Amino acid sequence: MRDTRESRLLLVLLIAIAFALITVDIRGGEDSPVDSARQAAATVFGPIEDGVSTAVDPIGNAVSAIRDSGERHDRLAALEKENAGLKAELGSDDRNRSRVRQLDKMLKTAANGQYGIKGAEVIAIGAAQGFSWTVTIDIGSKEGIKRDMTVLNGDGLVGRVTTVGPNTATVLLASDPDFTVGTRMEATDELGFASGQGDRPLRVELLNGKAKVKKGDRLVTFGSEADKPFVPGVPVGVVSRVDPSGGDLTRTIYVRPYVGFTKLDIVGVVVEAPRRDPRDTVLPDKPKPTPTPTVTVTVTPSAAAPTDGQPQEQ
């Protein structure tokens, strides 16, 4: 359209009509005479506008996607946290079950030996430099613990109490090189002294240089005067090696201890000694030997072989 006087008048007229319609619409409110026309236009053009806005508004779509993703991430994080909690609870149950088994085994050992014990938990180990093999337990003088008391668990001899505080005590393990305990051989009653060798088997010097001993024989504690530091009858270990007898006054053997000193948890301190020596009664039952299966091979003579043992003529 060219810029003429008529076109300018037409533009002014259209603007005036538009303002008039706006004024009428505002004053009419919901009863506006142009409301029906506006609704008809919305019905026709609304779906088109919605589709166009969806297609041309990628930023809005991305924000919605991020918001949904965040909600999904929060749900996933909550599920992962719940799963981790269940695993921790299961692990705790496993640990508790293990402790119950340890405690039950220790109580049976104490009952067999008639030892009066107080249960304790290992809460610390000795110096990391390895100068000594010790552990700290969570009971002390307030619970009646004293120096030179025997410490055991369900497997056997753990060590002896060396230092006592109000709420804790230090135990010198039987594996420590400074540890020595009197021993008695099962059945033969041969006496000796066992010394720790760290992570190696205990070294035992039998008082009888001609003592008959073999691999698999078992030892218990001999006991001390007034039952301190050791009560009698506590299982020590199994003979793993015997040095040849060279006519010496003593005989050296090596013993694999029953107790695993690197995995101690629940232990018992003997606060009351047995009225009489239990000797071998606390030792576990010997494992029954597994029979070796025998195989019998039967040879069936071949049909072509001669029955009289002579070769057949060709």
Range among 3-7, 54-58, 103-107, 245-249 with highest mean pLDDT value: 103-107
The structure tokens listed for 273 are: 């000694």
Measured CA to CA in angstroms, residue 177 lies from 14, 86, 159, 194, 197 at distances of 111, 44, 12, 10, 5
User: Which residue has tokens 């090696």?
Assistant: 241
Q: What is the pLDDT of residues 180-227, one digit of tens each?
A: 999 999 999 999 999 999 999 999 999 999 999 999 999 999 999 999
Q: What is the pLDDT of residues 88-100, one digit of tens each?
A: 655 667 778 888 8
pTM of the model: 0.64
d(CA 238, CA 286): 11
Phi, psi values for residue 287, rounded to 5°: -65, 140
What is the per-residue pLDDT for 45? 43
Annotate 160-185 with b (16+ C-beta within 10 A) or e (fewer).
bbbebeeebbbbbbbbbeebbbbbbb
Residue type, 109: T
SS (H, E, C) 80-137: HHHHHHHHHHHHHHHHHHHHHHHHHHHHHHHHHHCCEEEEEEEEEECCCCCCCCEEEE
What is the per-residue pLDDT for 314? 45
Confidence of residue 132 (pLDDT cuts 50, 70, 90): confident
Cα 232 from chain centre? 33
What is the per-residue pLDDT for 64? 45
Distance, first Cα to last Cα, the chain: 130
Mean per-residue pLDDT for 20-48? 51
What is the per-residue pLDDT for 63? 40
- Beta-carbon count within 10 A of 105 CB: 15
Percent of the chain with pLDDT over 90: 52
Q: What is the pLDDT of residues 70-82, one digit of tens each?
A: 455 566 677 667 6
Instruction: Give the bridge partners for 135, in sequence order.
Output: 125, 171
Mean per-residue pLDDT for 52-59? 45
Q: What is the pLDDT of residues 269-311, one digit of tens each?
A: 999 999 999 999 999 888 776 666 666 666 666 555 555 555 5
